[in-house]
Amino acid sequence: MHRYDIYLLRPEVARQFIQLESKLFRLFKEYETVPSIHHEVQKQVDYICRPISIHHLGAWLSSSTMTDFHPDENDSYVYYVEEDEGVKLTMSERRLQIWSTLDREDEWVWFDKLQTYDPYFFACDIKREKYGWLKPMKMHTHLYG
């Protein structure tokens, strides 16, 4: 099973980290895997990320074929994809998580949906050390002369 942690970055922070995605990944990896510094790293994550509007995004996604469940014990909302039993999406104000037993090509459908909602989502697969923007951003260059 694959697990993707997806964070919504502030636009100004996202622009600063174009081509520095490995630094973002290291921060999120520490946030997820190093309990001894979790509190300190959480402050950094809270600073660079925007809160996710669970109800707005949930309503937007519910136009898809998803089943909505009530909040779990962590105040997260859990959605199951009706047509793809291999995908579960959990949402909290801090992050989204996609749990999948499907092939990578089948997971991209959900990444595509999220990138149309907001261009500043950053996804991490900590276990496989994969990461990147859901919507690739381009570095703006200025020509002088």
Task: Single out the residue of 4, 29, 15 nearest to residue 120, CA to CA.
Answer: 15
Enter the pTM of the model.
0.82
Return the CATH number of 2-133, one of 3.30.310.250, 2.160.10.10, 3.50.50.60, 1.10.3810.10: 3.30.310.250
In sequence order, which residues have a C-beta less than 8 Å from that of residue 141 and are 6 or more positions away?
none
Q: What number is the average pLDDT over the span 82-91?
A: 70
Band of residue 127 on the pLDDT scale cut at 50, 70, 90: very high
Q: Is the dihedral of CA 42, 43, 49, 53 positive or negative?
A: positive
Task: Single out the residue of 3, 10, 14 nearest to residue 136, CA to CA.
Answer: 14
What percent of the chain clears pLDDT 90, i.e. is strictly above it?
Answer: 46
The answer to whether the beta carbons of residues 77 and 90 sit under 8 Å apart is yes
Pairing label, strands 2-8, 87-91: unpaired
pLDDT of residue 99: 87
**Boundaries of every domain in the chain:** 2-133
Digit-coded pLDDT (tens) for 15-26: 999 889 999 999
Task: Single out the residue of 76, 68, 70, 73 nearest to residue 97, CA to CA.
Answer: 76
